[in-house]
């Protein structure tokens, strides 16, 4: 990548940027074409496949040299650990990791200490994001107070304060009456509910998915059926209440028919999958490697392949990092007592490139799931390469190889399952509202 | 003779020839144990620490006796009452002990994989004395030695393992070992106590004792933990005994010369009838305890030999 300055402004403050010779990955049109893109005043001002325009105004010229330019990633379900666990991560460090990973909007989880269940707490996260994060920070709020599943939060006030969605994260609302009322109330305000489909009495204490591998390793396990039971219950309630519903993570093949049925019936339902469930399987846990302990646990290879196919078919809409920082002390324990979760903001894009290089998904399909669909689901204008859309963009080389060294990650916690693995795909530049927030130094 | 392992963490990584090597050595120690002079010198000058994070009487005693008979300095630590209660992590405990330069660490832990984790952090030989529901390799080896001595071979036998397979590390290690030695292994128990995916292990699964025991050369009973009897996994103790407890009638479906085994401690009248357990013509339960000491002597002997060779190679390397 090369760039030269024209006019008298410095590169980072230029209000106008012209990117030429780029592979434009347009998830909306489903196209992957050579062309140029003009950014002005934080928005996309022009686009073409012909020769780029000659500009009289001062601007920065970025020669992409045939690399990919795509809408920035909108990542639903980032845990920043702030407030409460700043030794693991903060909004500042998560923001830096996001910028380096091509994530232009972090949709943050409310499973902090204390949980984000009041408008005041939500405003705090928004404000911190504006102050210290180079990328957009869009907070989600808890659906019930304290994420305890008993009383709904002030959904109206929280919406006014800017809550993107309502979720108790991995705390399943077990009381069906409470969930029904929360759905009914949220529906009247047009609020989106994000749930973690799981039957908790089956999954309690589980560290892996039940089957031959789990039994041989002697680890407490949960059947993949627990996810389907949880999803079927939620979908029945959506049918009853007509709520706007998103399942945070679908990871098993057995849950897919219910999802497809609900969509076909016209319910406002969408679903996500984590990058780890799309690229790893239960055998990766191998000799009790706790960095591979995630929630829900990694599944069988057949399930992984079914998730990839469901993404291609549009049954699953969104790919998330489910970024969950955990310090060394929480992970250096016997597998069944070690903490769950993995950091992924910086590895989301290179891991997703595995699905591109294997020929399973095209780049427009991947960015549909990582940018366009999550943006649309949350009512944002981003995720598109159309003139007029916000200039939240990522420029990346899908083929650049590297071996991941976890110590180089920008997150405070380094719990990535990809440590030491060969990966392809490097972010060259990340732009938020038309301004570069990350540029790879060579 | 080959036994090319640094640790004994499970049966899973062992090659059949390594199992045979270990059993041959154990045979030698079994004979020695029956003689007047029971002492060997294989562990002279070495330090053995037994770390038991979970209660144990017989395994702990067996390892202690095995180490002492071979000349090791043996220390037994009951970790349930020590610094672990004060919040120290498993790894910190291991590192502290490692600083005292033990040569053999014998570890039992309630969590699967905990012994593997610990073995990564220390520079001595580690023996797994049982981790969670994962493995209990010396138990499987002593069972194998008992079978080999009673039946004259350890292959092409019809072996039924009965009872609570799901929660048993003994069952897992035995399934692995007996499978590696090419036996026909059958698991018998109520479906709630058979682990998911067991039928993919190369074993047969039965929920009827008479079918499962049919034609068996070896009947291996497992202990049913008291806490599993309360209606969670089985309806009641008496229904379990009726359907899965080993009595003379059920045993009559096995071969007439079938041997009966139990890793202990037994619940008489729950999983096994007392008269069968005491029948010296059928039960080899006491022999199992005896072979336990011999197998543990053999395992520590072989690991200590590898440890000494490794240290000599290292010292030689420094000299050169």
How far is Cα B224 from Cα B237, in angstroms, rounded to an integer? 10
Among the partner-chain residues A217, A221, A337, the one whose CB lies closest to the CB of B134 is A217
Alpha-carbon distance values, A193 to A162, A229, B275 (Å): 14, 18, 63
Contacts of B195 in chain A (CB under 8 A): 215
Q: Where are the domains of chain A?
A: 3-70+391-398+423-439, 71-377
Residues of B in contact with A286 (CB under 8 A): none
pLDDT at B78: 79
- pLDDT given for residue A316 in this prediction: 98
Check CB contact under 8 Å for B197 and A218: no
Residue B169: active-site member: no
| Cα→Cα distances A245→A213, A296, A312, B5, Å | 33, 19, 21, 54
A296 preceded by a cis bond (ω within 30 of 0): yes
Sequence length of chain A is 442
Query: Chain B 147-166, CB below 8 Å of chain A: which residues?
Result: 166
Catalytic residue among B109, B136, B148, B172: B136
Question: Contact at 8 Å (CB) between B105 and B117?
Answer: no
Residue B183 C-alpha, separation from nearest chain A C-alpha, in angstroms: 18
Kindly determine whether residue B196 and residue A333, on different chains, have CB atoms separated by under 8 Å.
no
The whole-number pLDDT of residue B91 equals 85
CA distance A241 to chain B (A): 36
Neighbour order of strands in the sheet with B125-131: B73-78, B47-52, B104-109, B125-131
Chain B residues lying within 8 Å of A339, measured CB to CB: none
pLDDT tens sequence across A213-243: 999 999 999 999 999 999 999 999 999 999 9
Kindly tell me the burial class for residue B2, based on how many C-beta atoms sit within 10 Å of its own C-beta (0-12, 13-18, 19 or more): exposed
| B117 inside 8 A of chain A by CB | yes
3-state class (DSSP) for residue A258: helix
Beta strands at A393-403 and A422-432: parallel, antiparallel or unpaired: antiparallel
Nearest to A202 by CA among A176, A179, A220: A220
CATH superfamily to which A71-377 belongs = Metal-dependent hydrolases (3.20.20.140)
Q: CB of B121 within 8 Å of any CB in chain A?
A: no
pLDDT of residue B133: 93
Report how many Cβ contacts below 8 Å link chain A to chain B: 71
- Most B CBs within 10 A among A205, A207, A215, A293, hence the mutation to make, goes to A215
A221: closest chain B residue by CA? B196
Predicted confidence at residue A1, as pLDDT, reads 45
Q: What is the rounded distance in angstroms from the CA atom of residue A134 to the CA atom of residue A154?
A: 29
Query: Are B133 and A218 inside 8 Å of each other by CB?
Result: yes
Which residue from B26, B130, B121 is spatially nearest to B70, judged by alpha carbons?
B26
B296 tagged catalytic:
no
Q: How far apart are CA A45 and CA A386, in angstroms?
A: 8
CA distances from B73 to B49, B76, B291, B309 (A): 8, 10, 22, 20
On whether ipTM exceeds 0.85, the answer is yes
Q: Give the residue from B196, B201, B202, B205 with the most A CB atoms within 10 Å of its CB, the best one to mutate.
A: B196
Q: How far is B237 from chain A (nearest CA, A)?
A: 24
For B2-52, the DSSP string reads: ----S-B--STT--HHHHHHHHHHHHHHHHHHHSS-----TTTT-EEEEEE
Chain B residues closer than 8 Å to A333 by CB = 89-90, 117
User: B172: nearest CA in chain A?
Assistant: A216
Joined tokens for residue A388: 């007029």
pLDDT, one tens digit for every residue, chain B (320 residues): 689 999 999 999 999 999 999 999 999 999 999 998 889 999 999 999 999 998 888 999 999 999 999 999 999 987 776 555 666 778 888 888 899 999 999 999 999 999 999 999 999 999 999 999 999 999 999 999 999 999 999 999 999 999 999 999 999 999 999 999 999 999 999 999 999 889 888 999 999 999 999 999 999 999 997 766 666 899 888 999 999 999 999 999 999 999 999 998 899 989 999 999 999 999 999 999 999 999 999 999 999 999 999 998 888 766 54
Chain A residues lying within 8 Å of B115, measured CB to CB: none
Radius of gyration of chain A (CA): 21
- Residue closest to A383 by CA, chosen among A441, A317, A308: A317
Catalytic one of B7, B69, B108, B250: B108
Our CA angle for A316, A322, A326, nearest 5°, is 160
Closest-CA residue of B relative to A333 is: B90
Instruction: Point out the residues of chain A with pLDDT beneath 50.
Output: 1-12
Residues A430/A99, Cβ–Cβ less than 8 Å: yes
CB B224, CB B164: distance < 8 Å: yes
A217 and B113 within 8 Å at the Cβ level: the answer is yes
Q: Is B121 a catalytic residue?
A: no
CA angle A302, A303, A309 (to 5 degrees): 90
B136 counts as catalytic: yes
- The four Cα atoms A259, A264, A267, A271 give a dihedral, to 10 degrees, of 30
Of B108, B121, B227, B125, nearest to B169 by C-alpha is: B108
Could you tell me which residues of chain A have a Cβ less than 8 Å from any Cβ in chain B?
210-219, 221, 223, 287-288, 329, 332-337
Q: Is B149 a catalytic residue?
A: no
Distances in Å between the alpha carbon of B236 and those of B16, B50, B167, B262?
40, 37, 17, 21
Q: Which residues of B touch A329 (CB under 8 A)?
A: 89
- Asked if the A3-70+391-398+423-439 domain carries CATH number 2.30.40.10, the reply is yes
CA distance A255 to chain B (A): 19
Q: Of B59, B93, B138, B146, which residue is the catalytic one?
A: B59
């Amino acid at each position: 990548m090369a760039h030269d300055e024209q006019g008298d402004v410095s590169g980072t403050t230029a209000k106008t940027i012209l990117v030429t010779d780029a592979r434009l990955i347009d998830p909306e049109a489903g196209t992957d074409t050579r062309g140029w893109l003009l950014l002005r005043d934080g928005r996309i001002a022009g686009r073409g496949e012909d020769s780029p325009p000659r500009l009289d105004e001062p601007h920065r010229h970025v020669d992409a040299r045939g690399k990919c330019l795509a809408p920035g990633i909108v990542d639903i379900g980032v845990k920043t650990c702030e407030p409460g666990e700043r030794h693991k991560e903060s909004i500042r460090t998560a923001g830096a990791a996001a910028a380096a990973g091509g994530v232009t909007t972090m949709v943050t989880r409310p499973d902090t200490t204390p949980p984000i269940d009041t408008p005041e707490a939500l405003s705090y996260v928004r404000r911190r994001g504006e102050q210290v994060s180079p990328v957009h920070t869009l907070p989600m709020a808890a659906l019930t107070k304290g994420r305890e599943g008993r009383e709904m939060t002030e959904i109206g006030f929280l919406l006014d304060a800017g809550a993107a969605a309502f979720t108790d994260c991995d705390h399943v609302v077990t009381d069906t009456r409470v969930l029904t009322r929360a759905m009914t109330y949220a529906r009247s305000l047009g609020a989106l509910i994000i749930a973690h489909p799981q039957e908790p009495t089956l999954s309690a204490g589980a560290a892996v998915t039940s089957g031959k591998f789990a039994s041989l390793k002697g680890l407490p396990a949960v059947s993949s059926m627990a996810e389907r039971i949880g999803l079927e219950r939620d979908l029945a309630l959506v049918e009853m209440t007509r709520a706007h519903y998103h399942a945070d993570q679908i990871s098993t093949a057995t849950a897919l028919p219910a999802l497809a049925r609900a969509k076909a019936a016209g319910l406002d339902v969408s679903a996500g999958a984590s990058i780890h469930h799309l690229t790893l399987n239960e055998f990766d846990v191998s000799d009790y490697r706790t960095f591979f302990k995630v929630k829900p646990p990694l599944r069988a290879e057949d399930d992984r392949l079914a998730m990839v196919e469901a993404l291609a078919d549009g049954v699953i809409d969104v790919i998330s990092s489910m970024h969950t920082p955990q310090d060394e002390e929480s992970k250096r324990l016997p597998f069944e007592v070690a903490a769950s979760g993995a950091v992924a903001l910086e590895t989301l894009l290179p891991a997703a490139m595995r699905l591109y290089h294997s020929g399973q998904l095209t780049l427009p399909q991947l960015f549909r799931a990582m940018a366009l669909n999550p943006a649309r689901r949350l009512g944002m204008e981003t995720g598109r390469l159309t003139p007029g859309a916000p200039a939240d963009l990522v420029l990346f080389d899908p083929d650049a190889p590297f071996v991941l060294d976890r110590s180089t990650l920008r997150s405070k916690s380094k719990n990535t399952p990809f440590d030491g693995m060969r990966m392809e795909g490097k972010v060259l530049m990340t732009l938020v509202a038309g301004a570069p927030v990350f540029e790879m130094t060579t | 003779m080959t036994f090319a392992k640094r640790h004994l963490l499970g049966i899973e990584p062992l090659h059949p020839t390594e199992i045979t090597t270990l059993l041959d050595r154990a045979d030698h120690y079994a004979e020695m144990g029956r003689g007047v002079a029971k002492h060997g010198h294989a562990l002279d000058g070495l330090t053995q620490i037994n770390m038991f994070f979970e209660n144990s009487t017989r395994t702990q005693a067996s390892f202690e006796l095995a180490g002492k008979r071979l000349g090791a300095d043996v220390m037994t630590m009951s970790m349930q009452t020590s610094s672990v209660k004060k919040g120290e992590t498993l790894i910190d405990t291991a590192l502290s002990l490692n600083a005292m330069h033990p040569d053999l660490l014998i570890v039992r832990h309630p969590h699967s994989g905990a012994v593997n984790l610990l073995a990564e952090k220390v520079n001595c030989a580690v023996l797994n004395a049982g981790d969670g529901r994962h493995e209990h390799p010396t138990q499987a080896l002593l069972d194998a030695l008992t079978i080999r001595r009673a039946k004259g071979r350890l292959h092409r036998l019809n072996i039924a393992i009965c009872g609570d397979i799901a929660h048993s590390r003994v069952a897992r290690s035995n399934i692995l070992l007996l499978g590696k030695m090419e036996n026909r292994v059958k698991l018998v128990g109520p479906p709630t106590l058979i682990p998911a995916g067991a039928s993919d292990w190369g074993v047969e699964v039965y929920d009827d004792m008479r079918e499962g025991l049919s034609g068996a050369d070896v009947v291996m009973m497992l202990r049913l933990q008291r806490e599993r009897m309360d209606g969670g996994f089985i309806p009641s103790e008496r229904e379990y005994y009726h359907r899965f407890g080993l009595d003379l009638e059920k045993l009559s479906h096995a071969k007439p010369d079938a041997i009966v085994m139990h890793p202990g401690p037994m619940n008489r009248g729950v999983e096994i009838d007392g008269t069968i357990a005491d029948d010296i013509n059928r039960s080899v339960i006491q022999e199992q305890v005896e072979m336990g000491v011999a197998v543990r002597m053999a395992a520590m002997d072989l690991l200590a030999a590898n440890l000494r060779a490794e240290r000599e190679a290292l010292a030689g390397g420094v000299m050169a």
